[in-house]
Amino acid sequence: MKKQLDSLVAGLTPSGKTLPDIEVLGVATHTDNVRPGYLFIAIPGARADGHDYVHTAIDRGAVAVITSGRDLGELPVPQIKVANPRRAASLIAAEFFDHPSRKMTVIGITGTNGKTTTASLISSILQAAGHKTAQLGTLGLIAEDFPRQNTLTTMEPVALQETFARLVQHGFTHLVMEVSSHALQQYRVADVDFNLAIYTNLTPEHLDYHHTMEEYFHAKARLFKMLSITATAVVNTDDRYGEAIKSESTAPVVTTSLSSEADVHFTRIDSTIEGIKGEIRVGEHRYQMESSLIGSFNLENILSAVAAAHILGIPPAAIETGVKSCAVVPGRMEIITTPSGNKVIVDYAHTPDAYEKVLSTVRDLAPDGSRITVVFGAGGDRDASKRPLMASIAESYATRCFVAPDNPRFEDPAQINADVVKGFTRDCYTIFEDRGQALRKALTEMGPDDIVVVLGKGRENYQDIRGEKIPYSDFEIIEEFCRAH
């Protein structure tokens, strides 16, 4: 694929400015990705500034650069100065790959919790209806005949648009993607044409980045402000920010709720540790639901998925089959039954709200007299204010808590644990330096009907320690335990 430089940056250059007749063979925002003939976009970041690497990019073959206007001296290639290189990167990437999102039905899901499960449910429904569907988010890219690849929740704009283009080339008609607040704030999806946007909920998270809940809300709201009038928004109005999201949407809104007769709601619910059965009403339509997912938060996720599918005109039989066949969402309330019949629940929960939802569900559905052991920790280089809150919530539902490392990154694990234990008010916890040791102890000490809940890492297969991803998997340790017993 190739584009002429002047057409690629049209609208970014002052009127009347003439650019050399240069053929652009690719776009990159990182020098490692620059090849001869590429356009390099210099983006200032938290840890590094792309402007410091402009000369490296040119040495690697960049034929032009986009900058913020910083004085870089005389350059041997054209320098196009823009007010916001991040915004320019999204626009240029979409233009370079011929706006591939316009050639698919794209469903974007944002919110603190529930994005991955909702995405998995919608993907399952679309596949049941016979649509060639890809899913993109925390679990990476999931697409038939594509290798599973781990990514940011939402990719950088060049990688994102290139992925869209490859999906279109391979005949994919639908894409279900998670949209993070970071991606919205950093314009990664500014030039994605969404047909449908879903709001799940908003609870304190990423405040190390957004600083306040108001800033966090406005980042999430960007998705709904960028919708066209032909798109549709699905909003969970049980969440306290739901009504505010409704008012921000530039597209028609369909509401979901467990507590009121919203546009999409349950008329009957039977929820147990074995799963969910019920009936959902959308106008005059009724859908019979059966799912192995558990918990009230999964009721919300199912409502969002059914609402999206109904809006897209998916046949009722495919909606019901898709929900039923979405049996396991990796790392999300994933239940493993040990040879002795005990339940081990693995969940990616890493916010106080997610802890409350997961642990209250486990306590409500647990057999009388069962002990609940929670293995958890807190991530490093993230909002420290939530750490004691997580301990407080774990304490209120668990018999005992094992506090262990969870991606300490560049922080001292001992300091992270010290922050966590400030939230305990009773002697119910043990601190471990090794997460594997904590999990093995919890598993080996299970009695009849006891439940072990492992929070924070889900299906991650590493520990992030001082910039290195050290191999580690909660799930592999649990599987190893089950094989040995």
Looking at every residue in the chain, the average pLDDT score rounds to 93
Q: 3-96 and 334-484 share one CATH topology?
A: no
5-16: pLDDT as tens digits = 999 998 887 765
Cα(396)–Cα(393) distance, rounded to whole angstroms? 5
Contact 142, 119 (CB under 8 A): no
Closest CA to 334 of 136, 479, 193, 221: 479
Q: What is the pLDDT of residue 212?
A: 84
Around 158, how many Cα atoms within 13 Å sit in the side-chain half-sphere?
A: 18
Q: What is the pLDDT of residue 396?
A: 97
Q: Which residues of the chain have pLDDT under 70?
A: 15-16, 149-153, 204-211
Strand pairing class (133-137; 140-142)? antiparallel
Cα torsion through 190, 351, 241, 46, rounded to 10: -30
Strand pairing class (343-347; 334-337)? antiparallel
At the top level of CATH, the class of 3-96 is alpha beta
Closest CA to 29 of 74, 96, 125: 96
- Sorted by where each begins, the domain ranges of the chain are 3-96, 100-325, 334-484
267's torsion region: left (phi>0), alpha (psi -120 to 50) or beta?
alpha
At the top level of CATH, the class of 100-325 is alpha beta
Does domain 334-484 match CATH 3.90.190.20? Answer: yes
Contact 160, 177 (CB under 8 A): no
Query: 467 in helix, strand or coil?
Result: coil
Q: What is the pLDDT of residue 90?
A: 96
Bridge partners for 4 per DSSP: 23
pTM attached to this predicted model: 0.82
Q: What is the pLDDT of residue 210?
A: 47
Cα(482)–Cα(485) distance, rounded to whole angstroms? 5
List, as own/partner pairs, every contact residues 459-466 make where C-beta atoms lie below 8 angstroms and the sequence separation is at least 24, other chains included. 459/139, 459/330, 459/331, 459/334, 459/346, 459/348, 460/331, 460/407, 463/405, 463/406, 463/407, 463/408, 463/435, 464/380, 464/407, 464/408, 464/409, 465/407, 465/408, 465/409, 466/409, 466/410
Q: What is the pLDDT of residue 139?
A: 86
